[in-house]
Amino acid sequence: MQRILITGAAGGMATLLRPRLARAGRVLRLLDIADVPGGGDGAEIVRASITDMAAMQAACAGVDAIVHLGGLSTEHEWAPILDVNIHGTYVTLEAARRAGVKRVILASSNHAIGYVGTQDGEVRADAFPRPDTNYGVSKVAMEALGSMYADRYGLEVVAIRIGSCFEQPKDARMLRTWLSPDDGARLIEACVAAPAPGFRVVWGASNNTRHWVSLDEARALGYAPQDDSERFAAQLQAEQGEPDPASPLMRYVGGAWCSEGWNTAVKEQAKEQTK
């Protein structure tokens, strides 16, 4: 029996992936600080924080692979990003090491390289980090931790730079970055099944006609995407029009997160000054 621990199991992605990853011969162990609804699929539910080493070690017992989705999935001030995303990823990897879990799949993000421009052709999965936010920095740290745990301790770690994993793309940028839930599950399956991946960084996107990112690295792991955001393009264009290619939304991989509204340090300072 294979057991997969999914952290952040109450979240949007896990909710989309859970039914797609459930199968005979596999137990899903679902961990979150929030309530995870039972699903009648025999899943094991664990209420714990990814920052709690003892709880994470217990949650890792008997686990073959971890899909680490837990954490803050948008921009926040530095302290919570440090605690939940950076320390929480350290605890997850260290608990995996202590419990003898062989493989960990990390939910990195396009925001790890958000300031990379979109005009210079397909962005490879080994593009050097250019994070756009505190959140983006936490994903760079996630990848660095994964690399260190692979090289030093022999864990097999695949970090997926996820684009936009939702039921449907929501705007022109997401036509470029969309990862359909079905392709998301296909990619996770490939990451779980790949023989001896060592440490890899791959892009998590569907086979989108208007793509920005390379799927070569994910395909090398065995990923065979089957969806294309293009079927939503006409409707989105009719509803929203064509965005200015010079706007941050379209100019950078990180989209609007590269715009002035996302100056978290400046906002944090202003908040301190009004205390």
Ligand X SMILES: NC(=O)c1ccc[n+]([C@@H]2O[C@H](COP(=O)([O-])OP(=O)(O)OC[C@H]3O[C@@H](n4cnc5c(N)ncnc54)[C@H](O)[C@@H]3O)[C@@H](O)[C@H]2O)c1
**Cα dihedral angle (61, 84, 89, 264), rounded to 10 degrees?**
170
The yes or no reply on residue 183 touching ligand X (CB under 6 A) is no
Which residue in 57, 73, 247, 264 binds ligand X (CB under 6 A)? Answer: 73
Burial of 144 (0-12, 13-18, 19+ CB in 10 A): middle
Cβ neighbours for 107, distance < 8 A, ≥ 6 positions apart: 8, 13, 67, 68, 69, 71, 142, 160, 162
The yes or no reply on residue 255 touching ligand X (CB under 6 A) is no
Which residue in 13, 81, 190, 253 binds ligand X (CB under 6 A)? Answer: 13
Which residue in 6, 46, 66, 84 binds ligand X (CB under 6 A)? Answer: 84
Give me the least distance between CB of 161 and ligand X, in Å please.
8
Q: Which of 90, 115, 135, 223 is catalytic?
A: 135
In the bound state with ligand X, the residue whose beta carbon lies nearer, of 13 and 43, is 13
Closest to 234 (Cα-Cα) out of 205, 204, 212, 210: 210
Rounded distance, CA 192 to CA 139, Å? 20
In the bound state with ligand X, the residue whose beta carbon lies nearer, of 24 and 91, is 91
Instruction: Give the residue at shortest CB distance from ligand X.
Output: 11
In the bound state with ligand X, the residue whose beta carbon lies nearer, of 24 and 65, is 65
At 12, the amino acid letter reads G
Q: Is 59:3 a contact under the CB 8 Å cutoff?
A: no
With CB under 6 A as the rule, give the number of residues binding ligand X.
Answer: 24
Q: Which residues bind ligand X (CB under 6 A)?
A: 7-8, 10-14, 32-34, 49-51, 69-71, 73, 84, 88, 107, 109, 162, 164-165
